[in-house]
A and B are shown apart, each in its own frame.
Chain A
Amino acid sequence: AEPMLQVPLYRGADMSRYDENNVELGVGFSTESSFKFGEFNGIHDQGGFLIGNLNLRNRLGDDGRYLNAFGYNLGLPSRQLGVEYGKQGGYWISAGYDMLTRYQFSDTLFIHNGLGGSVLTLPAGFAGITAGTSQPPANAAAINPFLRTYEIKQDRDVFRLGGGFNFAPGWDLSVNYRQDDRDGSKLIGAVMGNTGGNPRAAILPYDLNDRTQQVEAVVRWRSKTAQANFSYWYSKYDNDVGSLTWQNPYGIIAGWAGNSGFNTGYGRLGLMPSNDFHQFAATGAWNLAPKQRLTGTFSYSMMRQDDAFLPYTINGPAFPGGPTQTPGTTLTVPNALPRSSLDGKIDNTLLDLAYFTRAWDKVTLRANYHYNKHNNKTPTALYAYVGGDTSNQPPVANDTINSTQLRWNVAESTTENRFKVDGDYEIFRRTLLRGFYEYKHISYEEESEALRSHTTNNLLGAELRRIMSEEFTGTLRYAHDQRTGSDYSLTRAYRATYTTGTTNAVPFPDNVPTLRHFFLADYDKDMIRAIGSITPMERVTIDLRADWYKVKYKGPDCGGPNDQVLAPANIFPAECLGRTQGDGASYTIDGSFVPADGWNAFAFYTYSLFSTDQLSRNINNTAAQQISAARDWSASLKYTDNTVGLGVRYQPDNKKYDVGAQYVFSDGTGKYGLGAASALVPGPLPVPDTQARLHSLQLFAKYRYSKNVALRFNYWFEKYRTDDWAYDNATPTSSNNVLLTGHQSPQYDAHIFGISIAYTNW
């Protein structure tokens, strides 16, 4: 027996359901209606459900042919089916069908009609969000009568087909096809328009109806001394729903043009574009000599996307051939799009070479070179940035114009070169000392005008591993990683996206020049790992594991004389903004125990930490604020988890029955420490902790009524409590600027009962 609908937390799972002909039928009952509990397991509603599992494994005759079939969770919305036929050493074909529903939100509220479709309109009688400068809180009385629940869930149906055969000695071919169809709704922020950072938006469901098809063909060759794989992988994404259109519920506000507000205006945003991907790859490996191996991989990939663009606005169009003007709106769109579609192209070239040797008694050595060029060939052009379907397009679209509403798209390319070497030396019997070094250099191509032209990582480390005996092993590892690189320039990226006219007139980027993005900034990172495994007696094993790291971001060159981009020369404080430090840790003590024959028990505790510190500056667009450290603020985000697991199983010698219990407690807390400098008055109010606390208890038993018939009993209790300040007590009208959904962070107490009969092995 095993816990219901949950992966095992330890090895040694009861495999009887999978390794023999097995048919299981039964009934279950849930006391709880909760999308969160049923998020992936399908038990989202109170009431009964069927338990159905099927696993048939048959050899057909003595010539190696077989026919296998399986079906899991057949009585639930999330279920799997599959069949496989073949002749071992000859050929095989397989097919599978998975249905997985993700139950995401059951309490989301909306005012629009047409939910689940791609065009959402407002209900008759709705008078618009007009009071109090068109803000939801002032319009609760007008909004609330029209709110209704619409569940957010996504079905993913996965169809698999595969086959292969050995077509010559040492050669085989396999082809696998996978199709993912998704259907349902997801949430998206629908923006009506932008007026200096005070847009009006609504969280709306959009129609999800897409298909991903993948086919992969692989030819493999093998001999005693060499092997090779040649593969082609094709992936195609088709989205049937290119956009979401909605009627604007907000009355017109200052800055909106024409009649784009309630009730004549509409908004539209683009959804994910259809695209495809090809990859050709070849991998070869050669045993140069005994205990020496050379492996090489070459791969070339192509990403393509050429969906037709949407027009600048749905409420347009003043240029010839444009879309039909929405009745009642008068937005101007004087310039056509520079292209009708993107013709997006990114090619990736990868080369990986590895040499590995155990040629010497006490030494092993591995050297690896890795090259990966990400070549973005997407054409660039100048596009008008129209903040929403409530704005006119800027009048003239050319590079000499000084307008932040004109933007060049950027096609960023990178080249990565990585070299790694590591070696072991057996300093004493069963004691290994390992050293490793990795050099990584990433070039950001000049034409992409990235923030840095290159970064370089140097990682150096050592590890000591002691294998005392079968009863005790231990590992201690330390590594230091340092990233440096070229000068950092926010203006370079800025100039790449804005017009020459704009950058000449306003030589200042969006972000404060002393910001360093954590994924590009210099840093020093220290990492320590300690692992121990002890078997003090035959029936007891204790594992200890500790991982810790600290990363300090170091710029480069923040402020001071390096940053005087404002005229007259204003010098920025010599401090870096952005993420300044990251910390992580994970500590586990884990034990398994066999107290007596037939008994198995386990227990574990894991503590995890992920935290970041950041520094920022609250600014407007004046030099005085942007250079003022008195406007600095900081945030320290600390996420900790405590996870406890306990389990016990018993099966007597005669295997007549087995029983078990498993308990998991998981407590995750997020803490948000905020600070502010003197000019930010009043200071920040504390942000409450976020918390997710789970108790999960499973009791399970299997009684073998006869050689072929077994009864299974399952009881599962799960209690879940979450606190989340982003959702708790927030109604749809709680926020300025945004019409929310009213979704609350989930809580549940679920009792699940299951009884089933299994027929095994005929």
Chain B
Amino acid sequence: ARAQAPAEKEAAAGKRGDLVLRGDAKCTRCHDEEDSPQVLQIGKTRHGVNADQRTPTCVSCHGESDRHINKPADAKERPKPDRIFKRNNDVTPPEAQSEACLGCHEASARIHWQGSAHDRGRVTCANCHTVHAPRDQVLVKETQAGVCFTCHKEQRAAIFRFSSHPLKSGWMACSDCHAPHGSVAEHNLVRNTVNETCYQCHADKRGPFLWEHPPAREDCTLCHNPHGSNVPQMLQARPPYLCQQCHVAPFHPSTNYSGTNLPPIRPGVTAPGFDKMLGQQCMNCHSKVHGSNHPSGARFTR
């Protein structure tokens, strides 16, 4: 058994009071500034504001932990606290870890947590949130992505592609579009549908339009990859071929465009480039693909 630390002796002798939270002396008699300063950082967080009557104390989250505090004489090692928050630990299953937080935080954005994709994936609150840190990395827009990338590795690679949302520079955060605590939408989106989520910043695409482009109305991601693409405008694939996956009509919509006449003009080829392969390609003329409100905009050119 380990010898009593000086602080422990002082606390046992009644010389030490609470350091940070109400009633924390039973813990901080050992976990003091010398032992674990990072634990005491909770005093700099919202959980450390004693003026707020809702503020928890150590045992609110970690349990009474009597066996941890009073190590049984026959125990080789000191038992762990009743509830610990390390991933995949033997003491506290994931749902019990999250229960500790949900006791106070089940309303608001967490109302959909139970049964959500992250909950079912055995992700716990503490997997993403650092409760004892003065500033939680996942709650700061500029640093949040680093936490999400722990699991979402494809998205980490995507932000370096040619065309992406301003996430790499910290102007957007994953949570601008996704609700990590669950939602009614697919992909845990913050709004009811993909399009509703996109319209938060792209309300110009909302319409309703006189001439609707059905895939644009149905789901923006049919044509765009919002996490990043090497095709301009975050398109899934390059026009004209992307457009021609749904347009096989006489003449130019069905023409098999190729490298013929792409600049620089090849030796012996003097014809200019096909307009459907250059610049904005199909959108050189069909510029209103998100919908047109012009009375003659049926073909999205006006």
Contact = CB atoms under 8 A, between A and B. Distances in A.
B199 A277 contact: yes
Contacts of A407: 298
Contacts of B166: 39-40, 100, 102
A604 B156 CA distance: 10
Interface in A667-701: 668-670, 672, 674, 676, 680, 684-688, 690-692, 694, 696
Given A237-B203, A387-B299, A616 B248 contact: yes
Contact of B120 (A13, A188, A366): A366
A404 to B, nearest CB: 10
Interface string B202-231: 011111111110110111001001000111
A632 to B, nearest CB: 9
A756 B144 CA distance: 24
Contacts of A653: none
A9 B146 contact: yes
Residue among A6, A218, A337, A680 with the most chain B CB within 10 A? A6
A13 B149 CA distance: 12
Contact of B296 (A203, A386, A608): A386
B161 A19 contact: no
A196 B249 CA distance: 12
B67 interface: no
Interface string A235-255: 111010000000000000000
Residue among A270, A358, A388, A610 with the most chain B CB within 10 A? A270
Interface in A6-33: 6-13, 15, 18-20
Given A7-B143, A136-B272, A305 B209 contact: yes
Interface in A605-641: 606, 608, 610, 612, 614, 616-621, 625-626, 633, 635, 637, 639, 641
Nearest to A366: B115
B252 interface: yes
Given A297-B184, A310-B294, A736-B272, A685 B260 contact: yes
B79 interface: no
Contacts of B199: 235, 277
Interface string A335-354: 00100001011101010101
Contact of B293 (A18, A309, A612): A309
Contacts of B167: 7
Contacts of B107: 220-222, 227-229
A740 B112 contact: no
Tell me if A's interface is mostly helix, strand, loop or mixed: strand
B268 to A, nearest CB: 12
Contacts of A470: 86-90
A143 interface: no
A295 B111 contact: yes
B95 interface: yes
B3 interface: no
Residue among B149, B160, B217 with the most chain A CB within 10 A? B160
A517 B249 CA distance: 13
B143 A734 contact: no
B157 interface: yes
Contacts of A268: 302
Interface string A536-552: 00000001010100000
B272 A137 contact: yes
A11 B147 contact: yes
Given A15-B140, A18-B143, A616 B284 contact: no
B218 A519 contact: yes
B38 to A, nearest CB: 12
A547 B157 CA distance: 14
Contact of B259 (A39, A370, A547, A686): A686
A488 interface: no
- Range of interface residues on B (Cβ < 8 Å): 35 or more
Interface string A196-225: 110101010000001010100010111000
B273 A8 contact: no
A352 B184 contact: yes
Given A191-B302, A222-B107, A668-B161, A518 B245 contact: yes
A740 B134 contact: no
A586 B279 contact: no
A563 interface: no
A476 interface: no
A435 to B, nearest CB: 12
Nearest to A222: B107
Contact of A7 (B135, B146, B192, B217): B146
A144 to B, nearest CB: 15
A194 B298 CA distance: 13
Interface in B271-302: 272-275, 277-281, 283-288, 290, 292-299, 301-302
Contacts of A733: 272
A151 interface: no
B272 A735 contact: yes
Contact of A616 (B244, B298, B302): B244
Contacts of A10: 146, 149-150
A498 B298 CA distance: 11
B46 interface: yes
A271 to B, nearest CB: 8
8 A-B pairs with least C-beta separation: A684-B258, A356-B115, A344-B208, A64-B51, A8-B146, A19-B135, A668-B230, A19-B134
Given A100-B166, A409-B298, 15 more contacts: A9-B149, A11-B146, A63-B51, A88-B49, A237-B203, A269-B288, A270-B297, A412-B217, A497-B298, A579-B245, A610-B236, A612-B237, A619-B250, A643-B157, A727-B278
29 contacts: A11-B137, A15-B137, A15-B140, A100-B166, A189-B283, A229-B107, A270-B292, A272-B293, A273-B207, A275-B208, A279-B192, A295-B114, A309-B294, A344-B207, A383-B295, A469-B88, A510-B249, A512-B248, A518-B222, A588-B153, A637-B237, A685-B259, A686-B259, A687-B259, A692-B162, A728-B263, A729-B264, A734-B263, A740-B278
